[in-house]
Amino acid sequence: MPGMKIDFCNQAAGSYLHCSVFAVCEKYSQAVIQEEDSPVLTPGAGKNKVSTCGIVEVPLVVGGVQAGPREFPHMAIIGYGASESDISWMCGGTLVSDEWVLTAAHCSKSRDKGPAKWVRLGELNLEDSEDEAQPQDFTISEMIVHPAYKLPALYNDIALFKLSAKVEFSAYIRPACLQVEKHFKDTTGIAIGYGRMDYANDAQSKHLLKVTLDFVTNTDCSKYYKHDIGGRQIPEGIRDGQLCSGVLEGGKDTCQVVLEKPYCMYSVVGVTSFGKFCGFKNSPAIYTRVSSYIHWIESTVWK
């Protein structure tokens, strides 16, 4: 909310949680509730409140499947290129407010297309204009990369992109919540993106995909990256500000989200950073842990 101040709740254990995150998240969840005229044709019948939530709470198949309309309304696609007629959609992000998208710092620019310039919200299929999706394009007015992000190391791989105009929320476009607590009960999450269906198929999917992944402890993750620790990308190993996720038997892998309350809202747990071999056995990917950057996100988005 513009001009909203950050409030804090004093918890019994002496820690402080960010009340603004919970309050804003609860308010965002109301975007899926619409009022419709009552079918009862009597005076004063009033209106019915109807949910337009598109989240499908069923197990996902191995390897990933196509997402449905309104299922992931927080999904953002980041575009690069010299002009609007030649946009390459190459990175993903998460809408977290009415004008900010959370993404990885490495998405601020591409190797051959220059800096990020556009964000598309509400998309489902990049080539199908006849589906139910209601995509909207925005230019990026400001990019804020975390000040501690220093290549070649991939620590603090997180950034915020400000949109050129405020977003009008709907069932197709609305923010996700932020995961505030470092520890959570879930052992699996949902990854979404326009990646490859499998390692053998090099073509990128034009339809938004979803897949379930297992969370891997940092201790176990360090074992899979033992030959990389001390190198250029993770010289200090897997830090607390990172988390790992994947499927240890291989076959499915990538923006990490967990479904919790408020109603019909996902919580963003991690931002995709990097991995070794996508979809390979014993190759979990490394994500930037959102809970480690709550204060930085809040101080930018709701300052």
102-141 pLDDT, tens digit each = 999 999 999 899 999 999 999 999 988 888 888 999 999 9
Give the domains, in start order, of the chain with CATH numbers: 17-51 (no CATH), 71-175+294-302 (2.40.10.10), 177-290 (2.40.10.10)
215-229 pLDDT, tens digit each = 899 999 999 888 888
Which pLDDT score is estimated for 17? 40
Tell me, yes or no, if the pTM score tops 0.85.
no
Per-residue pLDDT of the chain (303 residues; tens, 9 = 90+): 333 333 333 333 333 344 455 566 666 655 555 555 544 444 554 455 454 554 554 444 345 788 888 889 999 999 999 898 889 998 999 999 999 999 999 999 998 999 999 999 999 999 888 888 889 999 999 999 999 999 999 999 999 999 999 999 988 998 988 888 887 777 788 888 886 545 445 567 788 988 878 889 999 999 988 888 899 999 999 999 999 988 766 555 444 444 344 344 578 899 989 876 555 566 788 999 999 999 999 899 987
CA distance 179 to 270: 8
Which pLDDT score is estimated for 242? 96
Which pLDDT score is estimated for 29? 57
Residues 184-209: b if buried by 16+ CB within 10 A, e if exposed:
eeeeebbbbbbbbbeeeeeeebebbb
Which pLDDT score is estimated for 276? 61
Burial class (CB in 10 A: 0-12, 13-18, 19+), 135: middle
CA distance 177 to 169: 14
Which pLDDT score is estimated for 248? 64
Which pLDDT score is estimated for 247? 73
